[in-house]
Amino acid sequence: MKILLLGDASNFHNTLAAALRAKGHYVVVASGGSAWMNTRRDIDIERRPGKLGTAQYALRLLRYLPQMRGFDIVQVHNPIFITLKPAKLYSVFDYLRRHNKVIIYEALGTDCNYVQACVDAKAFKYSDFRIATLPSPHAMLFPDEERCWLDEAMVRYTNYFISKVDGVISCLYEYSKTYESILPTSKLAYGGIPIAVSENSNLITEEPEKVRFFIGIQRDRAALKGTDIMLESLKRVVARYPDKSEMCVVENLPYSEYVAKMNASHVLLDQLYSYTPATNALIAMSKGIIAVSGAEPEYYEFIGEENNKPIINVSPMVIGDVEGKLEWIIKNKNLLPELSRKSRDFVLKHNDSMIVAQRHLDFWQKIKLQK
- Is 2-194+353-370's fold the same as 211-350's? yes
Determine the Cα–Cα distance for residues 36 and 254; give it in Å rounded to an integer.
6
* CATH numeric code, 211-350: 3.40.50.2000
The predicted structure's pLDDT at residue 60 = 82
Task: Reduce the secondary structure of the chain to three states and give it as a string.
Answer: CEEEEECCCCCHHHHHHHHHHHCCCEEEEEECCCHHHCCCCCEECCCCCHHHHHHHHHHHHHHHHHHHCCCCEEEECCCCCCCCCHHHHHHHHHHHHHHCCEEEEEECCCCHHHHHHHHHCCCCCECCCEECCEECHHHHHCHHHHHHHCCHHHHHHHHHHHHHCCEEEECCHHHHHHHHCCCCHHHEEECCCCECCCCCCCCCCCCCCCEEEEEEECCCCHHHHCHHHHHHHHHHHHHHCCCCEEEEEEECCCHHHHHHHHCCCCEEECCCCCCCCCHHHHHHHHCCCEEEECCCHHHHHHHCCCCCCCCEECCCCCCCHHHHHHHHHHHCHHHHHHHHHHHHHHHHHHCEHHHHHHHHHHHHHHHHHHC
Give residue 291's pLDDT. 97
pTM here is 0.92
pLDDT of residue 219: 66
Chain mean position to CA 310? 19
- From residue 219, alpha-carbon distances to 42, 227, 251, 305, 306 in Å are 28, 10, 7, 34, 36
CA distances from 43 to 33, 67, 97, 303 (A): 10, 9, 19, 34
The structural domains of the chain, with segments of one domain joined by +, span: 2-194+353-370, 211-350
Whether residue 89 contacts residue 20, with contact meaning beta carbons closer than 8 Å, is answered with no
- For residue 111, what pLDDT is reported? 95
Q: What is the pLDDT of residue 258?
A: 81
The backbone torsions φ and ψ at residue 275, rounded to the nearest 5 degrees and listed phi first, read: -75, -15
Query: CA-CA distance, 289 to 337, in Å (whole number)?
Result: 10
Output the pLDDT for position 324: 96
Cα atoms in the 13 Å half-sphere on the side-chain side of 102:
25
pLDDT of residue 329: 97
Q: Are 283 and 195 spatial neighbours (Cβ–Cβ below 8 Å)? A: yes
Give the separation between CA 267 and CA 27, rounded to whole angstroms.
35
Q: How far apart are CA 63 and CA 106, in angstroms?
A: 25
In CATH terms, the fold of domain 2-194+353-370 is Rossmann fold (3.40.50)
Residues of the chain with pLDDT under 50: none
Say if residue 144 is exposed, middle or buried (CB neighbours under 10 Å; 0-12, 13-18, 19+). exposed
